[in-house]
């Protein structure tokens, strides 16, 4: 990850330092209108089963708890659609851990065709959240739409801490202009500042890396090593007291990855891989 090169906004966002192209990104894409959670199932059209015989055991009245019962996941879709039009607000300095201050937020990057990172991250986070909620996992989002401003990096970290999250996952996309740069990577706080940033966050990072890679996505050719990137400069990771990682899903300036991120099918694939990796981590946490 590298510092943004936008003229007005050069700071790092929560958990990220996505590389970015210059200039103000285009107007945000419309945010998904569906709310997280599973849909209410339609009534069954099949005939009811025959009544049990007198020798049959009575059915159990206790419900089987969902797979993720009691688990809490905070999803942090990077950036926000209104950031570009509020430079004063998002350039305001806030605490970023390790004695640093950083700008509140940044605009993020975009594909060469103009599809913005903030729209991609919001759409993917919604799909990840829906998949997790269907497994009984409580999902908390750091932002509720793709037309607002912020929140600042310290507030995003606070949301995860206050939720006592079992896992915090920030979703981003990079914007390197290097012609060969492609692939995803997972950032985590290093050296750790507390117990949660130690083995729990490293385990989350490795599980996330393995899950996304096993779903067919290549690891980064230009940042980190084997898909992992230890960082000490990302505010959301520095300030987290819960297991936390940041996923850079790929390079939006790479033609192939831009095509995936800009398509509904591609976003669904990213969301599937991230959700499965979170479930795998929670199962072993």
Tokens of 46: 């099949």
H or E stretch at 95: strand 93-97
Tokens of 153: 């990096």
Cβ atoms of residues 224 and 280 within 8 Å = no
Measured CA to CA, the distance from residue 3 to residue 164 in angstroms comes to: 30
Cβ atoms of residues 158 and 239 within 8 Å = yes
111: nearest Cα among 170, 174, 171 = 174
Largest CA distance in the chain: 78
Q: Which entry of 89, 155, 199, 248 is annotated as an active-site residue?
A: 248
Q: Is residue 155 flagged as an active site residue? A: no
194: nearest Cα among 237, 157, 154, 156 = 237
Q: Which residues are catalytic?
A: 248
């Amino acid at each position: 990850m590298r510092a943004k090169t936008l003229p007005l906004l050069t700071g790092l966002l929560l958990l990220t330092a996505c590389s970015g192209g210059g200039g103000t990104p285009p107007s945000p894409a419309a945010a998904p209108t569906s709310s997280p959670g599973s849909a209410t199932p339609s009534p069954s059209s099949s005939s009811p089963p025959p009544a049990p015989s007198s020798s049959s055991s009575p059915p159990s009245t206790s419900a089987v708890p969902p797979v993720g019962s009691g688990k809490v996941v905070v999803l942090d879709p990077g950036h926000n659609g209104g950031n570009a039009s509020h430079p004063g607000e998002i350039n305001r300095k806030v605490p970023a851990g390790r004695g640093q201050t950083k700008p509140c937020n940044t605009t993020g990057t975009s594909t060469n065709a103009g599809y913005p990172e903030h729209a991609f991250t919001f759409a993917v986070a919604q799909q990840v959240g829906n998949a997790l909620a269907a497994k009984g996992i409580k999902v908390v989002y750091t932002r509720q739409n793709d037309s607002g401003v912020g929140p600042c990096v310290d507030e995003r970290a606070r949301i995860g801490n206050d939720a006592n999250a079992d896992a915090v996952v920030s979703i981003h996309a990079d914007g390197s202009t290097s012609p060969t740069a492609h692939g995803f990577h997972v950032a985590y706080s290093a050296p750790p500042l507390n117990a949660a940033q130690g083995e729990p966050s490293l385990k989350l990072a490795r599980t996330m890396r393995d899950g996304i890679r096993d779903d067919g996505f290549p690891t980064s050719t230009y940042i980190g090593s084997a898909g992992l990137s230890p960082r000490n400069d990302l505010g959301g990771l520095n300030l987290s007291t819960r297991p936390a990682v940041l996923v850079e899903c790929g390079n939006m300036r790479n033609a192939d990855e831009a095509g995936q991120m800009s398509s509904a099918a591609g976003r669904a694939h990213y969301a599937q891989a991230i959700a499965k990796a979170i479930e795998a981590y929670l199962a072993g946490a």
